[in-house]
């Protein structure tokens, strides 16, 4: 008797109302709130209606598990198991938005209270800090601090806000500060708000590590005025160009063999500069600038084609503003140059001879290796910044 063959088929899954989420994240969050006594910090800012502390815990749990937009947070929280975990009853979307408004309006007091909990409870082995700044795009239009500025998200058409984060440096790496400012404020100006938020919690002699965006003589003097130290990167200038011309690897110190980093120290009355050259960094920067030059060359070719064939100018080359009338005329150098000559000209314009060089400055007289390693440990704050 011949048996009829049938192709195997997977069991069909039937949808149901069950939900799944990591309970460990929720339990850990609730434990931290209880241990650090954070409930009262939020609860005192809203006496009526839904408990602000419970809403905050639910919202943070949502961001730690799903990390989607705030507009979807209410739907995630308004499920029986979640509501039960955070001792909440069902609420409307506007309730969560109002809770966020309250937190934003009282953010400085809330941050101070959180700092009090941390520093009164723990005896930290040091209070050296890393500070960094970034920006966030604002899709809404009503917030007053939304301004157009340098967009790290490459969206200059959108308003944004800037934020600064502070963490205790290695090996603690605990965040202790968060400041929010308008989207058009420069890091060197934002520094004052970020530093002022944490300075009273730092011990005399603490080291402030930050990137070159916040570097200014006024900021370094301000750190010293409060009896603290600094280590920061600084932008290269014409005086560094003179050093580059005389830079001889045979007369430098090998700082990092893996990345082929060499350096020299320059001692001044009030600071020490650490001037480095990295072969790895030089290679990366040259590759990036060559790609940019090639992109500019192709763009010029596109423009020349528009001129030669009397084509309509594409929107990407026009001013997209109904209130502005502009007559745009293109003229390229491609008619005078071969393709190889044009590409070489674009490369020369992009490459300035500073590739691979960078400079740190400190109020301490460190070794070249100590300065570089200490500054690179600041990278831990980039993870914190990206989480924000």
Is residue 180 assigned to a domain?
no
User: Which of 24-28, 305-309, 380-384 is the least confident region?
Assistant: 380-384
Is residue 265 assigned to a domain?
no
Is residue 95 assigned to a domain?
yes
Residue 275 is predicted with a pLDDT of 98
- The confidence band for 335, taking pLDDT boundaries of 50, 70 and 90, is confident
Q: Given a cut of 70, is residue 43 above it in pLDDT?
A: yes
Q: Given a cut of 80, is residue 211 above it in pLDDT?
A: yes
Residue 123 is predicted with a pLDDT of 94
Q: How far apart, in whole angstroms, are the C-alpha atoms of residue 280 and residue 258?
A: 9
Residue 147 is predicted with a pLDDT of 87
The domain total for the chain is 1
Q: Given a cut of 80, is residue 297 above it in pLDDT?
A: yes
Is residue 42 assigned to a domain?
yes
Round the average pLDDT of the chain to a whole number and report it. 91
For the chain, the C-alpha Rg in angstroms (whole number) is 28
Is residue 45 assigned to a domain?
yes
Residue 16 is predicted with a pLDDT of 72
Residue 387 is predicted with a pLDDT of 66
pLDDT per residue over 109-131, tens digit each? Answer: 999 999 999 999 999 999 999 99
pLDDT per residue over 215-260, tens digit each? Answer: 999 999 999 999 999 999 999 999 999 999 999 999 999 999 998 9
70 closest CA partner among 101, 44, 110: 101
Instruction: Report which of residues 319 and 234 the model is more confident about.
Output: 234
Is residue 202 assigned to a domain?
no
Q: Given a cut of 60, is residue 34 above it in pLDDT?
A: yes
Q: Given a cut of 60, is residue 209 above it in pLDDT?
A: yes
Q: How far apart, in whole angstroms, are the C-alpha atoms of residue 188 and residue 126?
A: 25
Q: How far apart, in whole angstroms, are the C-alpha atoms of residue 266 and residue 274?
A: 6
Q: How far apart, in whole angstroms, are the C-alpha atoms of residue 236 and residue 218?
A: 18
Q: Given a cut of 90, is residue 322 above it in pLDDT?
A: no
The answer to whether 350 and 290 are in contact (CB under 8 A) is: yes
Is residue 94 assigned to a domain?
yes
Residue 144 is predicted with a pLDDT of 82
**φ and ψ at 180, to 5 degrees?**
-125, 130
Strand order in the sheet with 272-278: 175-182, 160-168, 129-137, 207-210, 229-234, 357-362, 272-278, 261-267, 253-256
pLDDT per residue over 77-103, tens digit each? Answer: 999 889 999 999 999 999 999 999 999
Paired tokens of 167: 């963490």
- The pTM of this model reads 0.85
Residue 1 is predicted with a pLDDT of 54
Residue 155 is predicted with a pLDDT of 80
Paired tokens of 96: 């969560």
Is residue 59 assigned to a domain?
yes
233 closest CA partner among 140, 328, 132: 132
- The confidence band for 314, taking pLDDT boundaries of 50, 70 and 90, is confident
The answer to whether 119 and 166 are in contact (CB under 8 A) is: no
What's the domain range around 31? 23-108
Q: Is the peptide bond before 171 cis (omega within 30 degrees of 0)?
A: yes
339 closest CA partner among 308, 381, 298, 373: 298
User: Which of 227-231, 287-291, 320-324, 384-388 is the least confident region?
Assistant: 384-388
Could you tell me the CA-to-CA distances from 160 to 137, 184, 192, 355, 388 in Å, in that order?
Answer: 4, 8, 20, 31, 14
């Amino acid at each position: 008797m011949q048996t009829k063959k049938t192709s195997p088929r997977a069991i069909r899954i039937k949808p149901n109302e069950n939900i799944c989420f990591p309970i460990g994240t929720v339990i850990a969050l609730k434990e931290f709130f209880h241990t650090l006594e954070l409930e009262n910090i939020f609860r005192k800012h809203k006496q009526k209606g839904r408990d602000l502390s419970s809403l905050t815990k639910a919202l943070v749990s949502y961001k730690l598990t799903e990390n989607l937009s705030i507009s979807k947070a209410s739907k995630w929280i308004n499920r029986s198991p979640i509501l039960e975990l955070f001792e909440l009853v069902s609420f409307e979307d506007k309730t969560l938005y109002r809770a966020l408004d309250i937190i934003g309006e009282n953010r400085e007091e809330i941050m101070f209270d959180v700092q009090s909990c941390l520093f009164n409870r723990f005896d930290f082995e040091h209070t050296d800090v890393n500070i960094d700044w970034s920006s966030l795009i604002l899709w809404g239009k009503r917030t007053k601090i939304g301004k157009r500025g340098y967009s790290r998200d490459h969206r200059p058409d959108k308003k944004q806000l800037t934020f600064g984060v502070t963490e205790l440096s290695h090996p603690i790496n605990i965040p202790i500060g968060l400041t929010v400012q308008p989207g058009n404020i420069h890091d060197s100006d934002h520094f004052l708000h970020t530093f002022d938020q944490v300075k009273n919690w730092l011990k005399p002699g603490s080291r402030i590590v930050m990137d070159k965006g916040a570097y200014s003589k006024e900021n370094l003097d301000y750190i010293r005025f409060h009896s603290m130290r600094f280590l920061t990167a600084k932008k290269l200038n014409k005086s560094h160009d003179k050093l580059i011309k005389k830079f001889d690897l045979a007369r430098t110190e090998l700082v990092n063999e893996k990345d082929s980093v060499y350096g020299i120290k320059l001692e001044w009355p009030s600071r020490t500069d650490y001037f480095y050259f990295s072969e790895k960094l030089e290679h990366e920067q040259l590759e990036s600038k060559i790609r940019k030059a090639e992109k500019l060359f192709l763009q010029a070719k596109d423009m020349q084609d528009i001129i030669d064939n009397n084509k309509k100018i594409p929107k990407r080359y026009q001013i997209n503003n109904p209130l502005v009338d502009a007559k745009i005329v293109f003229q390229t150098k491609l008619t005078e140059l071969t393709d190889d000559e044009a590409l070489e000209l674009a490369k020369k314009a992009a490459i300035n001879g500073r590739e691979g060089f960078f400079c740190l400055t400190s109020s301490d007289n460190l070794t070249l290796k100590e300065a570089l390693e200490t500054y690179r440990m600041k990278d831990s704050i980039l993870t914190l910044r990206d989480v924000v």
